[in-house]
Chain A
């Protein structure tokens, strides 16, 4: 491959790639994101190859392993082109039907289609599935069309044309101006205007400057950065190179966590390809602009996602935050001006350069423009990655895209922004999701986690879970975060055990405020959010725990398991499944749980058939006395 020496070289290459491809040639795309890897896409893909070989059709059909489609719970996702026929949860044994029926005969394999749970209707095309239909997949959209290991796939879809436009016709100042006008705000959490950050770095004194991609996504259940970095790394690289040109940096870092091996591999191969093509290195596209990128693999600390800790880690020191009263855009890595943005932020840049800031401003709310990817998980029917314009309401995201709460349960809260986000109650469901609105109700955009909770979730237990996570992940440098979170966790443990008093709640509040106001870094400062927001919106649950009951019947210390003698049919399921032999009973005789032996593992409750519904969880009420041994069951008629 000869290096591309100009924008027109790139254009010619694009034409050459396209002319070598027949848009009518059938293509099987198999999603190969991490979610689908877990559900078996490797085997499905191998089965397709085998099947095509058997049918002697290997040369007539392309197989493409693409990036993450987002609808991970329905993986592996397979899409057949032309026609965009979408098959979900495909197993290796389904591949022969797909090849013989769909590829050969043009018929659809009905059983693999998406079935709308409300209407029962089968949906053929991916874009018509409600989960996708209500999204605006600006960044994620190309994931399903591209093999992340192929730069040609990216170039075929106009990839690197924004870079070519930048280098051939725009000055760095013009790029900066456009990004400023776009009002793009950082997607990593704080929502700081990207253009202003770039400008500070550009104007900071010094010749040596750095641009850095933050891909240290560490929130439990969140994986938007991962899916972009794995599924479409060139988009991130293109944004980064454009940013480097605007800022005047000639060196960049991509900080990827080691736990994302596929992201590391795909990014490394993308960088290598760019170097071969002359899109990285010296004199990029003949513009005289030099830029190189290094990958830094993070050693797995949540706190390293914090900007100053990330810089320390890149320098080879322990990833611990340092006070940044002088901004890192002025004094960052090795005290040089450094511009750090999140994966999503960088990935948005090429779109802004191609389509202009006015176009970008046409999406979103007054204060937050463009789209945002959320990781929609928890008690919703459709879980996965969701990209929507800023300003869509929480209700729309949860009901229209998420398909509502499963099993007819009632919504209780949604936690946005990762472990240090706040829990938002139902009365705010019509809140338009953007940076400022979420902050107003005591939560945050964060990196875009969205955990839906239903009425069976205990909010105190939830606050305890996240506080425990954050205490584990606290680096331990500053006293409020290290000692404060430890004490908060202890108090929450006492509350969930029914051993706390109102004085303890007062201690918890005092502590939360100090941790918020006094911690060294943003992670510490936001860590009391789960506690503060649940105290604000679900205070009644704290009070109930103090009085000895867990309303959601989650906290084990406050729950007793009881078999209703009126309902028990002596089917023996609970007895057989109890792991500690706490249940006694025999044929025709009512089963009884021995509370001394019971470890409250919930198994009896789970296995008792719905038609009997005899196992009850009791909290805060007196448990009825056990029936005498040998009591006969009352047969249902």
Chain B
């Protein structure tokens, strides 16, 4: 493994080739907030909360640090006005869906008192932000593929694959607090049902 040196928030950081910027930052004690990322799972790049600015030569771009590979001489900023704006709007978008646990803390951190994008009248929080950690845990760690996404776009939801039910109910590990952020996202856990279908 080759070692590369990059700069994160002004600090020279050594990392191994093949690592992601998020891992390198973590090893150097720099924290980047995440939602869909989980150490045991493959990076997914869907919540966009871990976005950072990377500069290579003269070009600066916004990337998801959970997926972006480290390279020599890369300059990374994990905190800027642009990045904070993105994180703030993302929190505003998902907080009404799951006004619990980590999200509440992150909202405070990014100065969101109240989301500007509230739920429709009569709409209930789904307690699911579709981070896919349960789906990926079931597929990657348990190798069961018992749950998956159904629907597209705003109709997307998590559902049990019919016919795998028994095995699935026996396990329930996707509801571990460490998988479903804080475990509080899911008041449904008791009856083991997944978030209801939502439409535009």
Contacts and interface: CB of A to CB of B under 8 A. Distances in A.
Interface of A: 301, 318, 322-323, 325-326, 471-480, 482-487, 489-490, 507, 510-511, 513-514, 517-520
A475 B69 contact: no
Nearest to A513: B85
Contacts of B30: none
B164 to A, nearest CB: 18
Contacts of B132: 477
Report, as a range, how many residues of chain B touch the other chain: 35 or more
B59 interface: no
B46 A487 contact: no
A479 B116 CA distance: 16
Given A323-B64, A476-B130, A483-B94, A514 B47 contact: no
Contact of B151 (A476, A511, A514): A476
Contacts of B149: 318, 476
Contact of B63 (A325, A473, A486, A513): A325
A476 B67 contact: no
A507 B116 CA distance: 7
Contacts of B62: 517-518
Contacts of B13: none
Instruction: Please report whether the interface of chain A is mostly helix, strand, loop or mixed according to DSSP.
Output: helix
Nearest to B61: A517
A479 B103 CA distance: 14
A152 B84 CA distance: 62
Contacts of A484: 89, 93
Given A325-B67, A325-B68, A479-B129, A520 B46 contact: yes
28 contacts: A323-B43, A323-B67, A471-B153, A471-B154, A472-B153, A474-B152, A475-B152, A475-B153, A475-B156, A478-B47, A478-B48, A479-B46, A480-B93, A484-B89, A484-B93, A485-B154, A487-B93, A507-B116, A507-B117, A510-B85, A511-B117, A514-B85, A514-B89, A517-B62, A517-B82, A520-B46, A520-B48, A520-B64
Contacts of B51: 518
B153 A474 contact: yes
Interface in B111-150: 116-117, 120, 129-130, 132, 149
Contact of B153 (A323, A476, A479, A518): A476
A304 to B, nearest CB: 11
Nearest to A483: B93
A509 B95 CA distance: 20
A301 B152 contact: yes
A479 B47 contact: yes
A479 B106 CA distance: 16
B90 interface: yes
B120 to A, nearest CB: 8
B69 A325 contact: yes
A482 B24 CA distance: 29
Given A487-B93, A510-B85, A514-B90, 14 more contacts: A323-B45, A473-B153, A474-B153, A475-B156, A476-B151, A478-B47, A479-B47, A479-B49, A480-B89, A482-B156, A484-B89, A487-B117, A507-B117, A510-B89
Nearest to B68: A325
A493 to B, nearest CB: 10
B86 interface: yes
B79 interface: no
Nearest to A525: B62
Nearest to B45: A323
